[in-house]
Amino acid sequence: MKLQIIYEEIGLYHPRMRLASLLTFPLPYYVGCRWRVKVLRLVGFQIGKGTTFFGMPSITGMKNLHLNLKIGENCIFNYGCKLEVGEKLTVGSFVSFGHEVMILTSTHEIGEKDQRLGPIVAKPVTVENGCWLGSRSLILPGVTIGAGAVVAAGSVVIKDVPSNTLVAGTPATIKKYLD
């Protein structure tokens, strides 16, 4: 019982993320964009060349954050992005993230009537090459955003997005096919 309580209290402590946060803490937004990437690489994250962070993203999850997150080359992350990596999160190359984009790889099942919050369910998320995720868009577990797709600002993506489409709304639906 005591071991369970100890794990619940410190089980989500991630020394790698703590070190990265300490090394980048003094940097204001839009300063040290490449330094943030270098620090995350230093602590074990897989991030391609040319990628920039205009603020340290919030990277959370149960375990193995550095193994569950893979980011391609020449991506742009604006400030305030939140990446929950309880399962694999793969971001292709040339992907652009607007302000405060949130990607979740886990959720909960609906539980019994006495407690609706059920067990955790984790599903991978993939954002393919060349996508643009608009500000404050929300990508839910198990979703694949196809290559060249655009997710409009404020959209909630609950299912796969085909390549070269513009989706918008809550839930996100196809608004336009792109060339």
82-138 pLDDT, tens digit per residue, is: 999 999 999 999 999 999 999 999 999 999 999 999 999 999 999 999 999 999 999
Around Cβ 146, how many Cβ atoms within 10 Å? 17
Model confidence band, residue 2 (pLDDT cutoffs 50, 70, 90)? confident
**Inter-helix orientation angle 33-42/15-24, to 10°:** 150
32: left (phi over 0), alpha (psi -120 to 50) or beta: left
Q: Which H or E element spans position 168?
A: strand 165-168
CB 151 within 8 A of CB 137: yes
Most confidently modeled of 27-41, 62-76, 154-168?
154-168
Query: Is the pLDDT confidence value at 28 over 90?
Result: no
pTM score, two decimals? 0.91
Model confidence band, residue 64 (pLDDT cutoffs 50, 70, 90)? confident
Which letter, b or e, does each residue of 39-73 get, where b requires 16 or more Cβ atoms within 10 Å of its Cβ?
bbbebebebbeebbbbbbbebbbbeebbebbbbbe
Query: Is the pLDDT confidence value at 21 over 90?
Result: no
* CATH number for the domain whose boundaries are 14-177: 2.160.10.10
Give the active site residues.
Answer: 108
Q: What is the pLDDT of residue 22?
A: 79
Query: Is the pLDDT confidence value at 146 over 80?
Result: yes
